Structure formats: C-alpha cells, structure tokens
Structure 1
Amino acid sequence: MPADLLPDRFANIRAAMRWILAAFYAAAGIAHLWAPDKLLAITPSWVPFAPQVIFITGLCELVGAAALLTRPLRWWAGVALAAYAVCVWPANFKHAIEGIELPYIANSWLYHGPRLAFQPVLAWWALYCAGVIDWPWRTRR
C-alpha cells in the first residue's frame, strides 16, 4: 500500500493542533481588527500602506483560521498560514529590538526570545496540521 494511502497514525494530534492553531489565528485576526493602532507600532517602516495591510492581514488570519478547519481548503490554508508566519517575522523583530510596549505583552527578552524562536515552529505547525508535510513522523514505506 502506498504511503500516502496509509492511515494517519497522528490524525487526532493533527486535528487538535488544527483547532489550537485556528483559535490562535482567529484571536490574532480579531486583535488586528480591534486594535490596529497597537500593531501599527511594530510594523516595519518599509511596509507600504501599513494600516490597510494590518486590516487585510486581520481578515486573512480569520479566513485562514476558518479554512484550516475546512477539509477542501485545509492544504491551502496551511501553506498560506505558514507563509504568513514567515512574513510577519520582521514585525516581531522590530517589536523585540525597539522594545515597543504593547498592552498585555511583556516587554522583556523572556518574552521576545522564545517568541522569535517559535516563529519557524509556527510555520511548521501550519504545514503539519494541514497535512502539507509529515516531517518528522513520516511513515516509512
């Protein structure tokens, strides 16, 4: 039997990861729409039309969260959310390096260090829970 037809031993884990990630992105999307001025402070100066970009990214996070939970759109949502995680990384660096105060977020390297290190994990998480990749638990043929 080809590997792509084998039952996914981690289906329940992937499902739980999908719901957690969808909740995370839904909350982030609401934050983008609710308090865009706060996120504008950490947006790099080279981003054109920053207020509009923050609004659009908020919508994209909400749509991505919903799509991640929808079987026909799941693969595309995983790819899009992984790309998104990489694209917003510069804002996380600016937030950390410039020490910008945001409500409810500690302005300390105890927050920023793990946050910056976790961004690639967030990209992997989106790809894995959407079934785009199987690494590191690929079933051998």
Structure 2
Amino acid sequence: MRWLLAAFFVAAGIAHLAVPDKLLAMTPAWVPFPSQVILMTGLCEFAGAVALVTRPLRWWAGIALATYSLCVWPANIHHALGAIDIPGLPSSWWYHGPRLAAQPLIIWACLYAAGVIDWPFRRRPD
C-alpha cells in the first residue's frame, strides 16, 4: 500500500508541475498565491512520496500526506460544485462523486500505510 500511495502522490506531483493551469482552475478564490501554492504542493507530494517509503520518515510522511489530503479536499469540492470544466477531466458526478468519497479513504490509507493507525486491521509485530 505504501508503494501504491507513493506512486499516486508522485503522479499528482507531476500533474501539479506539468499542468498547473488545470489545477489553478479548480483552486478556490480564497487560496492566497494560488500559483505558488500549486507549485509547492507538487513538490510536497514528491517529498511525501519519498518519505513514505523511507523507514525513518514514514510516520511523519503519513501524518503530512493525510493532512495534505484533507487540505486539498476543498479544491475538489469547489471543482465539483462550481461546475468547472477542465479539459481532460470528466465533469459528471460519475467522476466527482467517487473522487469526493475517496478522499477519506486516501487519508486513512496514508495513516495506515505509515503505521500511524492500525484500524481496522491489527498489525502483527514486525
């Protein structure tokens, strides 16, 4: 799960750096310095992905990536409710509904993969 999440966050980081204009379109107006925030969040996704698969940093990476995933949720909500059309992304609720519902699962997966929580599966001792 750690490696899958790391790949997910690397892909998201690439998107932040490669097509920031698409992400800028879904960024709520109240976000200050949106272009810089998109650049920094892309870099943070890379750093979090590397840290998630690095044992001494794993726990902190889980906390950071879960917090990050919670903080970007408003942009996802804004994208869904604002009827913002972004080329290359579906604009129907068949896309937005599962994406919004998946955010708590991503938060949980970050915490679980990093060993921050073990719910609902108890871990065996290493």
After TM superposition, is the score higher than 0.5? yes
Which residue is 1:114 aligned to?
A: 98
Give 2:26's aligned residue: 42
Give the alignment partner of residue 87 of structure 2, picking from 95, 103, 106. 103
Q: C-alpha deviations, 1:42-81, integer Å up to 9, x for none?
A: 0010000000000000000000001101000000000000
2:46 and 2:86 map into 1 onto residues whose CA distance is 21
Counterpart in the other structure of 1:87: 71
Q: Distance in 2 between matches of 1:19 and 1:81?
A: 14
SS of 1:105's equivalent in the other structure is: coil
Aligned-residue RMSD, C-alpha = 1.2
Deviation at 1:109, TM superposition (A): 0.1
Structure 1, unmatched stretches of 5+, are: 1-16
What is residue 111 of structure 2 aligned with on the other side? 127
Q: CA deviation at 1:137?
A: 1.2
TM-score (norm 2): 0.95
Q: Give matches, 1:19-34, under 5 Å.
A: 19-34=3-18
TM-score using structure 1 length: 0.85
1:139 deviation in Å? 5.6
- Going from structure 1 to structure 2, the CA distance change for 1:72 and 1:94 (only over 3 Å counts) comes to same
Q: Which residue of 2 aligns with 1:137?
A: 121
How much identity, in percent, do the aligned residues show? 68
How many residue pairs match? The answer is: 124
In our comparison, the structure showing a higher alpha carbon Rg is 1
| Superposed displacement of residue 84, structure 1 | 0.5
